[in-house]
Chains A and B, each alone.
Chain A
Amino acid sequence: MIGVNFWERLQRLDRRVIFILIAAVVAIPLIWPPRPKLQISPPTQKVFDYIEKLPPGSVVALCFDYGPSSAPELDPMAYAILRQCLTKGVKVIVMTLDITGKQMKSHALNRVVAQLEQEGVKPVAGDDYLDLPYQPGYTAVVLGMGEDVHKVFPIGTAGGKTQPIGTWPLMDRVHTMRDLSLVVDLASSNTPTMWVLYGASRFGVKVAAGVTAVMVMDYYPFLQSKQLVGLLGGMKGAAEYEQLLKKPGLGMSGMGGQKWGHLVIIAFVVVGNIGYFASRRAARRAAGAAEVG
């Protein structure tokens, strides 16, 4: 029979044991990634449906406002959205308001374009996609885009070439933010709030956001008030999007680790509570025995 001392020791468990278990259950599924069938959450479905309904020739701006730390959660979203847009003829502008997003956007765009070219979809550089340079200023950039995008971004890069912005055919269609059908902000900071405040409220552009799981709650109020078209939350949001696209990728491969990590935490919480109640009961019994004695 398990003694009270066992439960008390369990409550004071060295956290290194927890760390080792978490490391194991997260790392092992990466070697054998499962392919679970996910329940698609409504905020993710809204983003997917909105882009799916865009006519070919529409222009979507994908803003990479995150750094390497959030890449595991947000890169899968970026790949999935880029793939969806480029395969259905929706044109994409990638940009960033964060200096660390500069490399993230270039990597993501080049990687997805290379994959699509291998699959026989050949997006045209400068007409189907364009990479705009990093410009400091956050709010100033968003406000400037509302007036004249060409003034804010004097150059654009595509297919390994950097040229004045006006020379790219894609930019014939985009002169102000109002010419964008959608702005998708992938962020690990509060830039989606800025896009909603200035982009959506002032210039009327539609905004969707993809954020890390920790920040999802920050944007539910915007979703409810329809200031955001949709919301992707964390790696699960990315996995859901990949499922909708029927193209599993990095997001889906992380679901195994997420599932088992959650289950281990739940197990620890349950065990901890059992130990807590067992200790409390034993303490009461001991107190009762002491009174009688």
Chain B
Amino acid sequence: MAVAAVAAAWGQPAEAPGSLQVPRELVEAGFPVQLPPPPADLDPAAPAAVVALPDTEDDSGAGVKVFWFPPQQTPPGMKLGGYRLYRSTDGGLRWRALPQPEKYAADAACKIQVVGGHWPWKAYELRVAALYIPTGTPEKNWGLQDRRRPKRVEGEWVTAREVLSRVAGPYNTRPYAKWFDGKKTNLLVTAVLYCVAVLWFLRHARRGREMYLRPIPGIEAVDDAIGRATEMGKPILYVSGLDSIDSVSTIASMIVLGRVARRTAEYDTPLLVPCRDPLVMAAEREIVKEAHLAVGKPEAFDPETIFYVTDSQFGYVAAVDGMMMRERPAANFFMGYFYAESLILAETGAATGAIQIAGTDADTQIPFFVTACDYCLMGEELYAASAYLAREPILLAQLKAQDVGKVAIAAAIWLGTTAATLGVLGTLLMAAQKLTPATAWGGKLHWFSALMDKFLALFATQ
């Protein structure tokens, strides 16, 4: 009934499939189901009934949904080529064209477009322009700016034409924005709990409590490797991974380098540190310099021992391999994030007879290092290395907090798996017994399955 009335108002056949349906969002916003008659002074070639509403799916508050209906008439000799949106932020003095995708809602009558980039505390005005191109011209011949300029088609100059609508309204075009994403509450709670655990252990560490750490052979071998190189009078090669300085594993590697550099400075063992990233090189130079200062040998520091090689992955590997074959270091340290080159580095080092200690959080490269190196720090052991080497209570406390976190995650996995299994079992049982939620047992099983789903939803992040 409503469709027929609207169709009559626009002079269009009511049987037109999918036409003249007013979208649910407009109806919920109070837009009448029956379209109002178009104003008498409105150009019939202009889009009609333009409405702008805040995009409630966009939490950033930058989104606005624009709705409009097609023009009543097409200018003679032209065809509708598309639409263009214009926005004004100064009350209609200047209008700026907005990006215009060609996809619209499937509804043939009402077009919907989401516009972004709105600031929540500004008011915007929007208009829609109908674009007309000469009949017979393929649409794809018209680029965006072609729609404003004359264009030569089959020997003749033709121009596209824009017909602007009224300003969108009468609804509020001031978007809203959320200040907190509720879907990430569980992540925030987890992060806060973890920080609390860390601080709690820190407090205990400051009280001087002894903490047990399981021995990690790779870390214990660091001093042995440095000692071996010193006895043999050969250099130590330190590769801090192929990632940039914003990678946590690179920072962990630089921390271990600090400890190694201190030892090599004490024993006057040459240290070679080829770098793939210039920022890492700059940071590592500082670290090694400070290590020399700390042991009272600033004059022994040679900045050229920490140098940039190349950004190219395999160019770097070729250079380091060449260095290993020529310089024959007695100890190789591979600490950081590595990609496919890990085995090339490790095998070449093994061929030279060096003792090799690797540490990486790149889990696909761990097997290669385990195969070719004497010792390997796997995953988080690299991050723990600095705590192990320094043995400072504060750093050890962090490791304890990490372990507590792991126990918590394992417990959550167990709980989640159990809940998911029980939920599925409940549903299967219902199906097998042909129970419905209306029956006594069916109702209980349905409630139980729903409870398990709600429990699992607590861990969802999307």
* A contacts, CB < 8 Å to B: 67, 69, 99-100, 124, 127, 147-148, 150, 166-169, 171-176, 179, 188-189, 201, 212, 214-215, 217-218
Contact = CB atoms under 8 A, between A and B. Distances in A.
B364 A214 contact: yes
A175 B100 contact: yes
Nearest to B99: A175
Contacts of A174: 101
A29 B367 CA distance: 29
Contact of A150 (B99, B339, B340, B462): B99
Contact of B116 (A100, A124, A147): A147
A188 B312 CA distance: 12
B89 to A, nearest CB: 17
A133 B117 CA distance: 25
A148 B116 CA distance: 10
Say which size band chain B's interface belongs to: 20 to 34
Interface in B159-180: none
A189 B314 CA distance: 13
A178 B142 CA distance: 23
Nearest to B101: A179
B143 interface: yes
B100 A218 contact: no
Nearest to B62: A147
Interface of B: 99-103, 116-117, 140-145, 311-314, 339-340, 363-364, 462
B120 to A, nearest CB: 16
A132 to B, nearest CB: 16
A188 B140 contact: no
B99 A148 contact: yes
Given A67-B312, A174-B101, 20 more contacts: A69-B313, A69-B314, A127-B140, A166-B143, A166-B144, A167-B143, A168-B143, A169-B141, A169-B143, A173-B102, A175-B99, A176-B116, A188-B339, A188-B340, A201-B462, A215-B339, A215-B340, A217-B363, A217-B364, A218-B364
A169 B137 CA distance: 14
A189 B362 CA distance: 11
B365 to A, nearest CB: 8
Given A69-B313, A100-B312, A215-B364, A166 B339 contact: no
B101 A173 contact: yes
B364 A172 contact: no
Contacts of B314: 69
A188 B314 CA distance: 12
Nearest to A179: B101
B140 A169 contact: yes
B340 A212 contact: yes
Contacts of A212: 340
Given A172-B100, A172-B102, A147 B143 contact: no
Contacts of A148: 99, 117
Given A67-B312, A214-B364, A218-B364, A175 B339 contact: no
A215 B340 CA distance: 8
Contacts of B103: 173, 179
Given A172-B102, A175-B99, A189 B140 contact: no
B106 to A, nearest CB: 13
24 contacts: A67-B312, A67-B313, A69-B313, A69-B314, A124-B140, A127-B140, A148-B117, A150-B99, A166-B143, A166-B145, A167-B143, A167-B144, A167-B145, A173-B101, A175-B99, A175-B101, A201-B462, A212-B340, A214-B340, A214-B364, A215-B339, A215-B340, A218-B363, A218-B364
Nearest to B242: A189
A23 to B, nearest CB: 16
Contacts of A100: 312
Given A67-B312, A69-B313, A215-B364, A172 B116 contact: no
Contacts of A215: 339-340, 364
A217 to B, nearest CB: 6
Please name the 6 residue pairs, one residue from A and one from B, whose CB atoms are nearest each other, closest first. Answer: A175-B99, A69-B314, A214-B340, A179-B101, A166-B144, A169-B143
A124 to B, nearest CB: 8
A212 B365 CA distance: 13
A130 B363 CA distance: 37
A124 B143 CA distance: 14
Contacts of B142: 169
Contacts of A99: 311
A168 B364 CA distance: 42
Contacts of B102: 172-173
Max count, chain B CB within 10 A of own CB: residue among A124, A169, A212, A218: A169
A176 B339 contact: no
Max count, chain B CB within 10 A of own CB: residue among A168, A212, A215, A217: A215
B143 A172 contact: yes
Contacts of B143: 166-169, 172
Nearest to B343: A214
A168 B117 CA distance: 23
Contacts of B141: 169
B363 to A, nearest CB: 8
Contacts of B144: 166-167, 171-172
A124 B140 CA distance: 11
Max count, chain A CB within 10 A of own CB: residue among B100, B143, B311: B143
